Amino acid sequence: MSSSLELDQLITRERLRRERRNLRDRLARSFLKEHPEVVGNPEMEIVDVVPEGTTEAAIRGIARHYHRMRKVREYLREIENIA
Q: Which domain holds residue 68?
A: 2-82
Per residue of the chain (83 residues), give pLDDT as tens. 468 889 999 999 999 999 999 999 999 999 999 999 999 999 999 888 899 999 999 999 999 999 999 999 999 999 988 86
Q: Which pLDDT does position 2 carry in this prediction?
A: 65
How many domains, in total, are found in the chain?
1
Cα 41 from chain centroid (whole Å): 15
Condensed to tens digits (0 to 9), the pLDDT of residues 10-30 reads 999 999 999 999 999 999 999
Q: Residue 57: left if φ>0, alpha if ψ -120 to 50, beta else—which one?
A: alpha
| Alpha carbons 40 and 43: distance in angstroms, whole number | 9
